[in-house]
Amino acid sequence: MQTPLASPVPVIRLPRGPDGLSRGFAPDGRRALLKPEVSETPESLIVHESRESQEQQARAMLRERYLRSLLAMVGRQVSFTLHEGVHVTAQFGATDLDVANFYVSQLQTPIGVQAEALLRCSDIIAYNFKL
């Protein structure tokens, strides 16, 4: 693993959902994990646990790299590619707790400049920035 993060990633909190508890994670939603059924032999359990451990380590490494990239984007000009081939640029500010939205400022769109905006991550196909 790399060195610890020097400072936390800026986070904004969005209001709670209509049920008062949720922030976008429904137990039966698209983010819910589907566990495959496995046979109950000891050998298959060991192999399954080993594979899960490797997958968890890989996910942790990718998550850390992603969070480091978000931290590197703070205050920088970022170009976003959205659906339908729309390209916008903005100064990156923060993300929400679930990394479902990006808070940006000086959003330059094809029809004008917006002082501040929230970009839904589900609308973003790709983004890039210079280090």
Share of the chain above pLDDT 90, in %: 40
Q: d(Cα 105, Cα 90) in Å, to the nearest integer? A: 6
pLDDT in the model for residue 74: 92
pTM of the model: 0.58
Pull the structure tokens for residue 13.
Answer: 């909190």
Q: Is the pLDDT of residue 101 over 60?
A: yes
Residue 65 lies in a domain: no
Residue 63 lies in a domain: no
Query: What range does the domain containing 86 cover?
Result: 71-129
Residue 114 lies in a domain: yes
Residue 111 lies in a domain: yes
Cβ–Cβ < 8 Å for 69, 2: no
**Which letter does DSSP use for residue 92 in this model?**
E
The CATH number for 108's domain is 2.30.30.100
Mean pLDDT within 9-25: 59
Closest CA to 119 of 97, 103, 108: 103
Residue 84 lies in a domain: yes
Residue 17 lies in a domain: no
Q: How many domains does the chain have?
A: 1
Phi, psi of 123 (to 5 degrees): -90, -10
Q: d(Cα 75, Cα 112) in Å, to the nearest integer? A: 21
pLDDT in the model for residue 117: 94
pLDDT in the model for residue 34: 53
Split at pLDDT 50, 70, 90, the class of 11 is: low
pLDDT tens per residue across span 27-79: 555 554 555 555 566 666 676 678 888 889 899 999 899 888 889 899 999 99
Distances 36 to 52, 69, 76, 78, 121 between C-alpha atoms, Å:
12, 32, 42, 39, 28
Q: What angle do CA 91, 94, 97 make, to 5 degrees?
A: 155
Split at pLDDT 50, 70, 90, the class of 97 is: confident
